[in-house]
Amino acid sequence: MSPEFNLIQQYFTRPSHHTNLGVGDDAALISPSAGMELAISADMLVADTHFFSDADAYSIGWKSLAVNVSDMAAMGANPKWATLAIALPEINHAWLAEFSRGLFACAKEFDVDLIGGDTTRGPLTISVQIMGEVPAGQAIKRSGAKLEDDIWVSGCLGAAATGLAHLQKKVVMPAGELQIGLAALHTPQPRVALGLALRTIANSCIDISDGLLADLGHILEASQLSARLDLALIPTLDFIHHNLQQPAFQHYLLAGGDDYELCFTAAKSNREKIVQLGQTLGLPLSRIGETCEESTENPAHIIVEFQQQTVNITKRGFDHFE
């Protein structure tokens, strides 16, 4: 057997739970359940764009799958199968062992089968595609937001971006919150249980990968609406909250990205249900604003208010080509 074939056998083959034929043939075979639509998404992570090459391989493995699982959560889909294509500059067995340990830790946590793989030589690049199931017609689309919907977010925003800023020596975080920030940055927790519960509650949903404003912006574009947010209501770390007068901290919170929390809209009549859902899941769900009519001149516009002032926003989120 060739070394390349061995890498897949050695590091990326584990018993599967939902799969007819897994790693090792020209293709894997799966049987989606009756009455289900398949939700499919792909994300690519590039060294030194999405993670530091010298970051610990366990985290890179976890995050590679987690960001894809997060896309399933955002659709209200149950993640089940993933494929991995990875380019490696060389065969580093210690790195591969840690990377696969992180990847499979995430796979186990969310009951995802890794069903296929491709390894090749090249600059470190990781491409994961994920597939999940959602009852036909129940996926939560970006385009479903209604006028005067409440806008909600899960968890705490800005932690990953501020953790990264700390690593880049732009800020100095207190030890306790630094730990939260680095955990958010390296091992994000996709909100699958929330996504599944939101199928019958939310009108639209997205996961926050590029930053709240950029991702909420995608909901607004798809739904032809604008929005009004109250900066003070956006859930975040105390360290960020206390510094919110500074544009840099407004940026971490609104546009830093890498949050992997869900942003969703829902009718006002669902407020109580959503509060209860947050309690059931042990996950804070915060109402941060509402949708409003868009104007022709300024479509999908987001007004952010802070202490009765409008915040001046220059940059909506992280874009790899800006």
Footprint on residues 194-233 left by a copy of itself (CB under 8 A): 205-207, 210, 214, 217-218, 221-222
80 binds a copy of itself (CB under 8 A): no
119 binds a copy of itself (CB under 8 A): yes
28 binds a copy of itself (CB under 8 A): yes
CA distance 111 to 100: 15
Tokens read off for 53: 């090459």
Q: How many residues bind a copy of itself (CB under 8 A)?
A: 78
Positions in 56-75 near a copy of itself (CB under 8 A): 71-72, 74-75
Nearer to a copy of itself by Cβ, of 31 and 269: the residue is 31
Contacts of residue 194, Cβ cutoff 8 Å, sequence gap at least 6: 73, 154, 262, 277, 281, 283, 285
Give the pairing of strands 302-306 and 226-230: parallel
Residue 187 C-beta: closest distance to a copy of itself, Å: 20
Contacts of residue 77, Cβ cutoff 8 Å, sequence gap at least 6: 39, 132, 133, 134, 139, 195
CA distance 244 to 253: 9
46 binds a copy of itself (CB under 8 A): yes
Nearer to a copy of itself by Cβ, of 2 and 245: the residue is 2
Q: What is the DSSP letter of 126?
A: E
Residue span 271-300 as binding mask against a copy of itself, x where in contact by CB under 8 A, dash where not: ------------------------------
Positions in 127-146 near a copy of itself (CB under 8 A): 127, 129-132, 134, 136, 139, 141-143
Positions in 2-21 near a copy of itself (CB under 8 A): 2-5, 7, 20-21
- With 0-12 / 13-18 / 19 or more C-beta atoms within 10 angstroms meaning exposed / middle / buried, residue 322 is exposed
Q: Which of 70, 71, 48, 72 is nearest to 60 (CA)?
A: 48
149 binds a copy of itself (CB under 8 A): no
Helix axes 57-75, 93-109, angle to 10 degrees: 30
Nearer to a copy of itself by Cβ, of 66 and 178: the residue is 66
49 binds a copy of itself (CB under 8 A): yes
